[in-house]
Structure 1
Amino acid sequence: MTSSRRARRVEVARIVPAEASVAFSWVADLRTHPRWIVATRLAGPAGPGPEIGSRYTMASGPGARRDPGSAMGRLVVPDRMVVEQLERPSTMQARVGRTRLRKLGPVLLGDAGFDVVPLDERRCRVVWWEEAHLAGPLPRAVTDPLVGLFLRQFMRISLSRLSRRLERPGR
């Protein structure tokens, strides 16, 4: 029996040294994620840039970067997602950029996304949030706290990497 309650929200934010539209292009386009998200690669074809309805499978875990040409291996979790929301930010209009992805399993279900808050022409605040839970078979009361701890650390490290990446000229 599956629970219909929402997963506990995990959220990590970081001020990054880039104009909001630049940061948004990095977080909204899953094809750039392997360049800054820890132990992650795009599994399958990249397709065009993000659009509502675009589907992606990311492979995450300790073995994700070892052999990108192989099928999912041990210690690699497939994360299938579909883009459900894309709202580009505007520094001039102080408009927050938002992207939301629906996680389709087979391991994680729920929603995830990024909010990009313009601060000025050279900085923005990137908020990465996840409302994801394990598909089963263990009860969510047991797994949600553990998933939350893991996600929070994973997100902190990855946003730190994004910030360092955006500091570099030519990125």
Structure 2
Amino acid sequence: MTTPATPRVHHVEVARVVPVEASVAFAWVADLRTHPRWMVATRLDGTAGPGPEVGDRYTMASGPGARRDPGAALGRLVVVDRMVVEQLERPSTAAARVGRTRLRKLGPVLLGEAGFDVVPMDAGRCRVVWWEEAYLAGPLPRAATAPLVGVALRGFMRLSLGRLARALDRRR
């Protein structure tokens, strides 16, 4: 008897050195309430508690039709991304400990996992690594949709991490 093959994971990763201590960068990337400040065309839908904590659920809306006002109706060309926090490990520059957050995507458009690793470099810099293993929910197989999703995500991630670096630089 043979076991079914596990679908190949399509991993997309973008990294950026940011000019702040790791705990500051981690606070911005781990807490999805801050994402609309630096993610391109993204808003948080609904309410969010003081988190982040493992088990917290968030709904993000991204795309040209995602207005910043949470009360406004969503326009066209918007991806609704429901997520749950599954892992949260805070970084430590003194202990050279990497901070990690991992989210599971719950649909309705995207499934898979995503997360951020915050790697301490010194007291004033760290490396933020944003990774995604996402694919479209629906009738097409993961192997067909993951590479296409990855192309779109890579551009979105690069632009957004650039905005994060500029926002954190202005805070200094």
Aligned to 2:114: 112
Output the aligned Cα RMSD: 1.6
Q: Secondary structure at the match of 1:102?
A: strand
Q: Secondary structure at the match of 1:143?
A: helix
Q: 2:26 aligns with which of 24, 27, 30?
A: 24
Tell me the matched-pair count: 168
Looking at structure 1, the residues matched to 113 and 68 of structure 2 have their Cα atoms a distance apart, in angstroms, of: 28
Contact map agreement 2:41 2:64 (CA 8 A) in 1? yes
Contact map agreement 1:7 1:110 (CA 8 A) in 2? no
Aligned to 1:73: 75
Q: Please, which moves more after superposition, 10-19 or 136-145?
A: 136-145
Q: Secondary structure at the match of 2:132?
A: strand
Is residue 125 of structure 1 aligned with residue 127 of structure 2? Answer: yes
Is residue 156 of structure 1 aligned with residue 143 of structure 2? Answer: no
How far apart are residue 67 of structure 1 and its match? 5.0
CA 1:167–1:54 in 2, change beyond 3 Å: closer, same or farther? Answer: same
Aligned to 2:64: 62
Give, as a single letter, the amino acid of the residue that structure 2 aligns with 1:134.
Answer: L
Looking at structure 2, the residues matched to 36 and 43 of structure 1 have their Cα atoms a distance apart, in angstroms, of: 16
Looking at structure 1, the residues matched to 97 and 171 of structure 2 have their Cα atoms a distance apart, in angstroms, of: 25
What is the TM-score when the length of structure 1 is the normalising length?
0.93
Q: Please, which moves more after superposition, 40-49 or 16-25?
A: 40-49
How far apart are residue 6 of structure 1 and its match? 4.7
Give, as a single letter, the amino acid of the residue that structure 2 aligns with 1:145.
Answer: P
Q: 1:166 aligns with which of 160, 168, 172?
A: 168
Deviations 1:76-129 (A, max 9, x none): 111000000000000000000000000000000010000000000000000000
CA 1:93–1:66 in 2, change beyond 3 Å: closer, same or farther? Answer: closer
Deviations 1:19-54 (A, max 9, x none): 000000000000000000001000001222200000
Q: Please, which moves more after superposition, 135-144 or 35-44?
A: 135-144
How far apart are residue 144 of structure 1 and its match? 1.9
What is the TM-score when the length of structure 2 is the normalising length?
0.92
CA 1:63–1:38 in 2, change beyond 3 Å: closer, same or farther? Answer: same
Please list every run of at least 4 consecutive aligned residues from structure 1 whose deviation after the TM superposition is greater than 4 angstroms.
Answer: none
Contact map agreement 2:7 2:142 (CA 8 A) in 1? no
Q: Which runs of 5+ in 2 are unaligned?
A: none
Is residue 98 of structure 1 aligned with residue 100 of structure 2? Answer: yes
Q: Secondary structure at the match of 1:150?
A: helix
How far apart are residue 69 of structure 1 and its match? 1.1
Q: Secondary structure at the match of 2:52?
A: coil
Q: Secondary structure at the match of 1:162?
A: helix
Looking at structure 1, the residues matched to 34 and 49 of structure 2 have their Cα atoms a distance apart, in angstroms, of: 12
Residue identity over aligned pairs, in percent, reads 79
